[in-house]
Structure 1
Amino acid sequence: MHDRLPTPASWRIALPHTTAAVPVARALVRTALAELEHTADGDTAELLTAELVANAVEHTAGDGPIELVVELLPNGCKVEVHDPDPAPPGDLTHPVAGEPDPWQEHGRGLLLIRALSSSCGHRATPSGKAVWFRLPSVPAPRRPPA
């Protein structure tokens, strides 16, 4: 008997271009990650997904849908948020000089994504851009024998 790696699975859903998309995106990520025993940290995945979706809603013009793509990989997960704006996100892959202002209400989302993901970035798409992050899998907690 030999172990097989699970077949990667993915979910893709169009979300409204409103803040109502944030809890829907979190719920989709939670549901997707519940499918696997050895999966990425669900709380971190939900937090970072909420940041990506909120940024897409806040920083892109128009009312076209935002698309959420969740991929379960043998070694973790990848989450992408597609939006219609081709402009790259602000300092996602390059740290800014200095510390963020603790009194500012905005500007920490990309910092969180850089700090908590194993990798992150963005890429151009035919209709705009995709901003993504990856999280590694973490083993499920062991239960004591009954």
Structure 2
Amino acid sequence: MPEATGPEATGSDATEPAPDRPAASWRIRLPHTTAAVPIARALIRAALDDIGPEAAGRPCGDTAELLTAELVANAVEHTAGQGPIELVVELRAAPGGCQIEVHDSEPARPGRLPCPDPGTEVDPWQEHGRGLLLIRALSSDCGHRPTAHGKAVWFTLPGVPAQGRRREP
């Protein structure tokens, strides 16, 4: 896993990062191929495993992996293959959680991050179109923003208290 950044990397004397700053962050270049999806999932799993399964404020790993896979798959499928895809992972200090971004070279907006309409039926056999719905439904916040080289699409997940997590086998 790439080296974490935090107070020790920035030269601060503080022992705890400020609540609005990341406790640790990583920026990883991914191949612009479908191989990026399982790589991204594995990186998220490793990042969360590094902080430990019982750590206070750890986000739900399964949800983080799923939503990251959706963002990376969208970046691979909907961009022209110009330039890298980057995965940015920020683990948050108290109260915990994370923000995950996927950067690509396409400046066009990523479609809508819609809230599903209560009366809208989803075709269960449809192969496309649910990724952004999942991100909107399962994250605490999400969006996109332009960058100097394209755009970043992101989501945040809250920390889950240890007593609220399911036990790993």
**Residue of structure 2 equivalent to 1:95:** 115
Distance in structure 2 (CA, Å) of the matches to 1:137 and 1:88? 28
SS at match of 1:111: helix
Distance in structure 2 (CA, Å) of the matches to 1:96 and 1:84? 28
Matches within 5 A, 1:53-72: 53-72=72-91
Which of 30, 38, 47 is equivalent to 1:32?
A: 47
Which of 99, 102, 105 is equivalent to 1:81?
A: 102
Q: What is the Cα deviation at residue 96 of structure 1?
A: 5.5
Q: What is the Cα deviation at residue 141 of structure 1?
A: 4.1
Task: List structure 1 segments (4+ residues) > 6 angstroms apart after TM superposition.
Answer: none
Q: How many residues align?
A: 138
Which of 128, 131, 143 is equivalent to 2:150?
A: 128
**Residue of structure 2 equivalent to 1:18:** 33
Q: Is 1:41–2:56 an aligned residue pair?
A: no
Distance in structure 1 (CA, Å) of the matches to 2:158 and 2:107? 28
SS at match of 2:162: coil
Partners of 1:13 and 1:68 within 8 A in 2:
yes
Segments of 5+ residues of structure 1 without an aligned counterpart are none
- TM-score for both structures, normalised by structure 2: 0.76
Q: What is the Cα deviation at residue 5 of structure 1?
A: 4.5
Identity %: 71
Distance in structure 2 (CA, Å) of the matches to 1:46 and 1:24? 10
**Residue of structure 2 equivalent to 1:114:** 136
What is the RMSD computed on CA atoms of the aligned residues? 1.7
Distance in structure 2 (CA, Å) of the matches to 1:53 and 1:99? 26
Aligned letter for 2:91?
Answer: L
SS at match of 2:127: coil
SS at match of 1:50: helix
CA distances 1:69-113 after superposition (whole Å, capped 9, x unpaired): 000002210000000011111121x33652322221111100000
Segments of 5+ residues of structure 2 without an aligned counterpart are 1-14, 165-169
Aligned letter for 2:98?
Answer: C
Q: What is the Cα deviation at residue 34 of structure 1?
A: 1.7
Distance in structure 2 (CA, Å) of the matches to 1:41 and 1:124? 28
